[in-house]
Amino acid sequence: MKQSIIILLIAIVTMGCFAQKFDKRLAKKLGADEYGMKSYVLVILKTGETTISDKQQRDSIFAGHMKNIGRMADAGLLAAEYFSWYASAALPLHNKYHKKKSRRKAFDT
């Protein structure tokens, strides 16, 4: 469900980009091709069912988790899988502007 919402939000941002007047400087700054698009590497992370409301506890758990991931990657126990994705070059601007136009949060972060 959350993945569907994320994909829908990305599609809305992408469509909004086409309704604007072309800005050559912005396109160059974002690395856009002639269609206003560029290639990304997509990684999908899914939220589990467990929630921890205590921020300090959650931060501590994630710090330990990231340290362990680093150790496993250095020992060759993990292998990354990358997905090429072609989308709007304006995606890096999404968070900056999304907060300005949204009355409610779609997700708790």
What's this model's pTM, rounded to 2 decimal places? 0.42
pLDDT per position as a tens digit, 42-67: 877 778 898 899 999 999 998 999 99
pLDDT per position as a tens digit, 12-52: 666 665 556 788 888 898 898 988 889 988 877 778 898 89
pLDDT at 108 over 60: no
Nearest to 14 by CA among 108, 107, 90: 90
**Is 4 in a helix, a strand, or coil?**
helix
- The pLDDT, as a whole number, for residue 63 is 93
Confidence of residue 99 (pLDDT cuts 50, 70, 90): low
Residue type, 30: L
If one compares 8 and 24, the residue with the highest pLDDT of the two is 24
**Is 29 in a helix, a strand, or coil?**
helix
Confidence of residue 68 (pLDDT cuts 50, 70, 90): very high
